[in-house]
Structure 1
């Protein structure tokens, strides 16, 4: 019984892998994308992308964001429904060197405005259906669905962004009750 317990709890759950002290999450993803390029990376509501496609799209978005001035520690708001596009958005922001700030589309406009100003967000990544929430914003607004025609013209290679493990990756606001 104790051997079985050890196998279940420790041996089978020993998923640790050695990482470089300077590895950022998007670099680890890029390595996995090279190894598992044809395997499914994300599946949501019947839609799927393999690692190669996800990396390709995130790279295009990253290059697009970089042209808008996103670089190391730039805060980028992301107000997108849960979807594959959300994953592309978060990964693209990280690859551009930015830090993502999740903005819940269900929040009242006043709350979103406060978060945008308080976090010093310079670029907003959203969807066309939420564009009216940010129509008065002075920030660059990227409509991931509508602007994809322009985004897909960008390069698909991994961006060469200088970033380290101390770089900002996200800023999150809580209700205060979660710590």
Structure 2
């Protein structure tokens, strides 16, 4: 709208350049035709000099525009002080940070196993797995997948609740060079069968409790306690599979609430970027991260791989516990959870 037109109230939000975004400030300008009005809204007290600086810049911009270009739309005015503009466009956008962009997720995990083989990698109720133990189970399962015909690039679906088995399965699938496709065990059988068919899954991994969707033609691998009976020859790392970090690590399907569900292909490097030196969450060896998100929801990516690729501990919290607030809180306290990612999915 031109400056000389009917009254308008453009709102402009300014952020504290020195102290992150803790003190939002909004300055509104009202054009009454024959006069101007200014309204400053501050959530928390900030330096008065900064407020006056913003107001001075805005008034100067308005005055210059009224004199030189009265038909200029308000949104084209330069209302930010120079230092604030520099902060927003340059300083805050300087987010480049090094991360292992050329390595696959299973390779990064195996490196962590080498660094901290005896450290606790995964906890579920009374089960405690070291990095070496978790790696061994994944290697054993990976060899089973190969025996069943799994090849690099294949899609392998998992229909498993949050559990040790699910984490082992995802690791094993990546070690084969394949792509894991997590499905929601609580989803309707029709949706489960549709996803398996849509991604042309080579295999479907389930456990002893899982009900298999009807009319499913895909071969099954049902995990049982016998998976733990193995030898040193079977639990050693597999020969490296030639894969690029740009290759797909997993496929996550959208809800389909606005139409047909769509499979989103996520590469290895995207997971590494999410959880390693990401600039917002510094995961260390002392951290215990709650795995409480739905396995078929993207929040689970951070919850699983953030601890396992940074030497922390992944704590699996089952579906029933998450749905009971009091029990959930007690579990978080008992397990000494230091990091939990908010999610509305269970």
Deviations 1:57-102 (A, max 9, x none): 0001111101112121100000111111111011011111110001
| Contact map agreement 2:120 2:131 (CA 8 A) in 1 | yes
Question: Given that residues 189 and 214 in structure 2 are in contact (C-alpha distance below 8 angstroms), is that contact kept between their aligned partners in structure 1?
Answer: no
Is the 1:26–1:95 contact (alpha carbons within 8 Å) kept by the matching residues of 2?
Answer: yes
Structure 1 residue runs without a partner (length 5+):
7-15
Alignment correspondent of 1:75? 155
Q: Secondary structure at the match of 1:172?
A: strand
Name the TM-score, length of structure 2 as normaliser.
Answer: 0.43
Paired position in structure 1 for 2:285: none
Partners of 2:226 and 2:157 in 1: CA distance: 16
Change in 2 beyond 3 A, CA 1:165/1:103: same
1:105 aligns with 2:195: no
2:252: which partner in 1? 172
Report the alpha carbon displacement of residue 177 of structure 1 after superposing the two structures with TM.
6.3
Aligned to 2:132: 52
Contact 2:190 2:213 in 1 (8 A): no
Q: Summarize the Cα distance change of 1:162–1:128 in structure 2 as closer, same or farther, 3 Å threshold.
A: same
Structure with larger RCO (C-alpha < 8 A, sep 6+): 1
2:219 aligns to what? Answer: 140
1:156 aligns with 2:156: no
Query: How many residues end up aligned between the 2 structures?
Result: 163
Q: CA deviation at 1:166?
A: 2.2
Name structure 2 gaps, 5 residues minimum: 1-18, 21-96, 263-346
SS in 1 for 2:205: strand
Aligned-residue offset at 1:33: 0.3
C-alpha spacing 1:147/1:105, structure 2 compared with 1 (3 Å): farther
Q: Give, in whole Å, the separation in 2 of the partners of 1:135 and 1:144.
A: 19
C-alpha distance after superposition, 1:109-161 (max 9, x if no partner): 1111100000111101111211x4246422221111266267x3671121122
1:84 aligned to which of 164, 169, 177: 164
Runs of 4+ in 1 over 3 A off after TM superposition: 176-179
Are 2:137 and 2:228, in contact at CA under 8 Å, matched by a contact in 1? Answer: no
Structure 2 CA distance, aligned partners of 1:44 and 1:158? Answer: 24
Give yes or no for contact 1:73–1:169 (8 Å, CA) kept in 2.
Answer: no
- TM-score, normalised to structure 1, is 0.81
What's the C-alpha RMSD, in Å, of the aligned pairs?
2.4
Q: In structure 1, how many angstroms separate the alpha carbons of the residues matched to 2:137 and 2:98?
A: 26
